[in-house]
Chains A and B, each alone.
Chain A
Amino acid sequence: MKPLFNNSIKILLLTLFIFTAISVNAQDPARLQFEKLKKLEDKAVDVVEVNVDGKLLKLAKRVLAKVNDKDAEKVAEAIKGLKGIYVRVYNFEKENEYNPSDVDEIRSQLNAPGWQKLANVRSKKNNQKVDVFTMFTGDLLSGIAVVVSDSKSIALVNAIGPIDIDLLVELSGHLNIPEISIEKTDKQQKKEKPE
């Protein structure tokens, strides 16, 4: 009976170990963890949270293929290899309403091996920080992360899989990609639209 019990324990431990290993490896290395930002939802006046992956993404790609439009074709081409895209935007009413360490935690995830800094902007005005990181698997882009924060807003974008950044920038404002400006303040918008 005792060896039987020992065997059972061994099998159980082995199974748990295998599942732990699977769960660790299953997570895409380019995927950022946004869970810690959940607490900001209560503080923020505007929250945008978009997760598109798996079936939803397949469905959207299928629709893109149906749309008879040159821009749609370009978008479809730009996101052909995309595996998932995750967006978080938090806008706050007052300045410094969030703890900068919350965003730093996301930035610290980008210190993990594989991530390469593409752009880094620091502006004293509004304490704006802009970071763009990319991850490559061989020669292929396997992930992109954009972290934009200032005193009143946080915006995070995490795309998994190859994506044509230039084409996406070029298509901004075209097709069904409206050129929205969540990060812009009222003053900035007034400047752009003089009365």
Chain B
Amino acid sequence: MKEEYLWDKTGEDPEIEGLEKALQVFRYKETEPPALRSNVVAFKTKENQSRRVLFFGLAVAACIALAVLALGVWMQISNPQPKGEGLVETVVPKDGFASSDDLEIKEDETRKEMPIKPVAKIRRFAPSATQQNQARNSEIKLTKEEQYAYDQLMRALSITSSKLNLVKKKV
């Protein structure tokens, strides 16, 4: 076996030549690529688009859900409800002041019946206008909620006016 023929086809090597002839049918022939079948569909574009729309819709829905959740959290934070640990603590019953029992009942009733906002927290020395208001408003029939709201407003205004009076006296 001559090595040269195998590498650069110089000289003669009948054995290799015989093998070449036998395998000639399998030799590479440069021809055109086979034509695709006419009924082949390359991409299902509509399905992809609908899937994309579906995902987009889901993303938007998730965002809306998150937004609603954020809004709920924000509202909860901005309007904190009174804690259940008791709004009223020791109240000294003195002239013109409500007793602690009165106040506690009032606050508890309010908590049960009106799920309205902040309300009030009073600890000791709570000068309550409740009794006065109840006496003055005895002619008008008020609901507990109305009475409570009125008392809170009057309490706030009384403190405000007393402070403004103080300022007036000082200035």
Contacts and interface: CB of A to CB of B under 8 A. Distances in A.
Interface of A: 1, 4, 7-8, 11-12, 15-16, 18-19, 23, 26-27, 41, 44-57, 59-64, 66-69, 75, 79, 85-87, 89, 91, 119, 121, 123, 130, 132, 146, 148, 155, 157, 159, 165, 168-169, 171-172, 175-183
Contacts of B59: 4, 7-8, 11
Contacts of A23: 74, 78
A45 B152 CA distance: 21
A146 B129 contact: no
A146 B167 contact: yes
B157 A63 contact: no
Q: Main secondary structure on chain A at its contact with chain B?
A: mixed
A169 B117 contact: no
Interface string B14-49: 000000000000000000000000000000000000
A178 B170 contact: no
Interface of B: 52, 55-56, 59-60, 62-64, 66-67, 70-71, 74, 78, 96, 116-127, 129, 132-133, 136-137, 139-140, 142, 145-150, 152-168, 170-171
Contact of B133 (A19, A41, A176): A176
Contact of A49 (B121, B148, B168): B121
B150 to A, nearest CB: 4
B158 A177 contact: yes
A3 to B, nearest CB: 9
A176 B70 contact: no
Contacts of B56: 4, 7
B60 A48 contact: no
B74 A19 contact: yes
A56 B158 contact: no
A69 B124 CA distance: 31
A56 B156 contact: no
B14 to A, nearest CB: 63
Contact of B152 (A15, A52, A64, A89): A52
A115 B134 CA distance: 38
Contacts of B55: 1, 4
